[in-house]
A and B are shown apart, each in its own frame.
Chain A
């Protein structure tokens, strides 16, 4: 266990420059998610009034409101800071669900083959036939517009790509001599899958975790934009949606620019990290030893 942690840390240390930038970006927004509500200057839902008691609506960036205010006089900066937490919470949770599902299904499919593989892969194929947004709209309409359903929805639909790729890799790993060796030593199936196959898939799994984060955030932003987000926890996507609904896209750029930049930054950061992890995971380190 300790060795695995050590190896994970060394992998992080080996990230190239882009990867480090990505990690820094994600760390920054992670901090925002944790500390945002505490450092926000105003209540994101409170209407701001000026010295004369009038609502400050649609005001461009000023000293009092660095990111301006909304149609309803709410402080944009506070909304952005508050919006980080639900956005990232949903993103990370959904990413974890889809990585967990995808990796496990891929592992079992690839390792056992036969009927298990047949059934699982047909399930994946069926899922491919269901488009994400319409499905989510239906689900949200039937259930309630709560954050947990969004998480579940995204996680349950997006794991199919992960499963396919993990299955392919498992198929080739299964034939490696060291897997055969461990099986011939009497290791049970579960041991082989989780103790021997999975660690070799870890880089791939981490890669998909990063991708999953991006997919979830963007998918969630789409949903929020369409108005299907959770009104209790307004996210960045909700902000853009509100700006659009108010019809002030051409005038009040400050309202939707900030949340959009945040979404783009987190996505970019996650992609940079994913690319860097890919390089680390690449079996270029396979044949060591003296080459002539």
Chain B
């Protein structure tokens, strides 16, 4: 009679302790996330601050779009457009060439499969400076320096490898039985691919395309070396504000926000693929 309430209250205490511990973990995670994201939020704040108040560390200011308006008047929109064209062009081209190749690698046992995989891995790992030296020399001869097509070609170095690598995985995860049935009915390999495999892999194609776009959009090094003024991309344009415009912090912050917006929006769409960890290896340089 005496022990029972003691046991019950012991269990209650344990449950309460577990609840407290979970609350602490969630609170800690929230605080940590805020600390990690604070520098990004600061950049956003800075971009809306009037130029006179930029240097003041206080939060009290009337938000203004002056910095964005200043950007719209200069050469930044052209650079932004260059970034868009180069990233989109390279993404589309990589998908067109890479998706069929990935399908072939997933459905057919080529003897050189292992070697192709190693080749793609090394391509992913090689330092960009190793590519830039020969590309700069050859592009100088071919007149491709400072052109958007030149950038599209350079971005193929990492995008094509990424498409083959990740799409092979997507196709491998789709059961081949439907396609085999179609083959038995006399359908060709590529009409089966178009009518059965490709629609099933569509979410994978979208996610891979978004990753390609982000990788090209994020590029700084290749564009820094291989463009001057005509094909200058947005990331390089930001750095030029730092060098020539006498440190216009408000403008730099606004340009930074504009460059990160498409990436954040797209990441939101592919976050489930990212969080599952499978595609993490392909992201970024």
Check if A and B associate.
no
Chain B residues close to A by CB (< 8 Å): none
Chain A residues close to B by CB (< 8 Å): none
